[in-house]
Structure 1
Amino acid sequence: MQKQQTVLITGASSGLGEGMAREFASKGYHLCLCARRIERLEALKSEIEQAYPKANVYIAALDVNQHDDVFDVFERFKSEAGAIDKIVVNAGMGKGASLGTGYFAANRATAETNFVAALAQCEAAMGIFRAQERGHLITIASMSALRGMPRAMTVYAATKAGLASMSEGIRADLLKTYGNNSPIKVTTLFPGYIRSEINEKVKNTPFMIGTEEGCRKMVKAIEKAPVKAYVPGWPWCVIGFLMKRLPLSWVLKLT
């Protein structure tokens, strides 16, 4: 019988992180969940343990912008769980506005949370995986990472593009170390429109799917351990192909 695996998810108190936690639990995983809102995590832990008694659920309060705390919490989880098989770099935010309109603080907060804090999470994760000589790092990018986006999406899209590039750089580094048979896998997900707290006020968006369905598809993709995946595959594989090639003015009409 295959050993029950453990997955660590950041930003697990709401949205896609919370949804993925439920989906992983339904598949028999142990969980290490962290987020700023510990009371939300406590409620989620109670819910999952009641529904899935065989699941071990470890929780910790974590603001990913407190970088030293990222390393401390990840190491504490490893100590409590014994080993960590998958780490999902999910925590993020979507504040912002057009550059030059007086919202630098909001744009900076998004840049720091979505890229610098993601760097801390990837660094901590890879430290654990290198020590274990195995593991699976999953980074949550966005379809917006494929091209530059306007207004509130400008910095958000740039951070997700940076995260996707950093993830590929980690894979390149692993190829140098292990060749094609690396025991450490890196997957980047590019979600399309999946309903969550970050976009709950967005209305009448084409191709939007619900949180539960979206998280189910994300976990399914993660378990296949691809280099990258558009989620859901349809229609975002086609849209992604077009986004990379069409003039920017056309891309804006697609999104």
Structure 2
Amino acid sequence: MFRKISNKIVLITGASSGIGESCAKMFYENGNHIILCGRRVDRLNKLKDQLVLNNAGGKVFACQVDVSSMDSIDKMFNELPEEMKAIDILVNNAGLSLGMDAVVDIDARNDLDSVIDTNVKGVFRLTRKILPGMIQRNSGHIFNISSIAGSMFYQNGSIYCASKAAVNAFSDIVRKEVVSTKIRVTNVCPGLVETEFSLVRFGGDSDKAKKPYIGIDPLTADDIADNIYYCASRPEHVQVTTIEVMANNQASTRDIYRDQV
């Protein structure tokens, strides 16, 4: 059953594209206040303008932030208007994968640090920053965007799989630590979602980036945002702990049926 939630303050990382952008649109269109966070401030401002043009009644604040840096996160919070600091919903969406190398070939200085600093430390840092306020108000909802790769491991995906396994564990632990409160924690594990994810993974090579989605109708960013909004809109006593969602012809990270093309 559809339930509308409104007038909530929603902070979304990685909001400049993909799942983050779709979440921003979904929550704003239903009358919520949105904090757009990301590194590409030009895209954030463009999205802000689009949202405000829709005039759904909520406030929109765009802020450049790199979740791999605690200083950047602190700066972002210092810049937030006072009326938007009591965050009701946190969507830890910022994340990436770089390359498809075997462990022996991984760039352990750059790729390893970039993925872990963003996918793992970023989730820890944002949650640590926002959770005390949620505990004080005895309300809030944290969404951590993980992946089926966090439990369905595959060759040449060691850093990414490990990072998402860490997100899974972190989500479970935080949920247990706030069990005496009204705070909810939802771990979101998508399968194939056609966004800029593969373009980043393959260093901007558009031909390589298209290959994972050939012959299958993949999920879209809007599909994931729809699932997230559904969980957020459940009655207060209902907590959806984990969402594992895949395209219809996908059964795991590697078990995929593709039409012959």
TM over 0.5: yes
Match of 1:166 among 170, 184, 188: 170
Structure 2 match to 1:196: 195
Q: Which has the higher helix share?
A: 1
Structure 1 match to 2:89: 86
Query: How much has 1:31 moved relative to structure 2?
Result: 0.3
Does 2:20 match 1:17? yes
Q: Which residue identity does 1:167 align to in structure 2?
A: S
| Consecutive unaligned residues in structure 2, runs of 5 or more | 200-208
Q: Please give the secondary structure, in 1, of the residue aligned with 2:159.
A: helix
Structure 1 match to 2:241: 227
1:78/1:84 contact within 8 Å kept = no
Q: Please give the secondary structure, in 2, of the residue aligned with 1:63.
A: coil
1:217/1:232 contact within 8 Å kept = no
2:192/2:219 contact within 8 Å kept = yes
Does 2:85 match 1:57? no
1:2–1:219 distance in 2 versus 1, CA, 3 Å: closer
Q: Please give the secondary structure, in 1, of the residue aligned with 2:19.
A: helix
Query: How much has 1:99 moved relative to structure 2?
Result: 1.1
Q: Please, what TM-score do these two structures have when normalized by structure 2?
A: 0.81
Q: Please, what TM-score do these two structures have when normalized by structure 1?
A: 0.83
Runs (4+) of structure 1 exceeding 6 A deviation are none
Map Cα deviations across residues 102-154 of structure 1 (whole Å, 9 max, x no partner).
42221331122111122111111212212322111110000111132221x22
Q: How does 1:151-162 map to 2 (within 5 A)?
A: 151=156, 153-162=157-166
Structure 2 match to 1:213: 223
1:3–1:103 distance in 2 versus 1, CA, 3 Å: closer
Does 2:100 match 1:101? no
**Bigger CA drift: 17-26 or 215-224?**
215-224
Map Cα deviations across residues 24-64 of structure 1 (whole Å, 9 max, x no partner).
11111110111111111111111000112412001111011
Q: Distance in 2 between matches of 1:4 and 1:206?
A: 38
Q: Which has the higher contact order (CA 8 A, sep 6+)?
A: 2
Q: Which residue identity does 2:58 align to in structure 1?
A: A
Q: Which residue identity does 2:165 align to in structure 1?
A: A
Query: How much has 1:233 moved relative to structure 2?
Result: 8.5
Q: Distance in 2 between matches of 1:68 and 1:188?
A: 26
1:84–1:234 distance in 2 versus 1, CA, 3 Å: farther
Structure 2 match to 1:248: none
Q: Distance in 2 between matches of 1:2 and 1:190?
A: 23
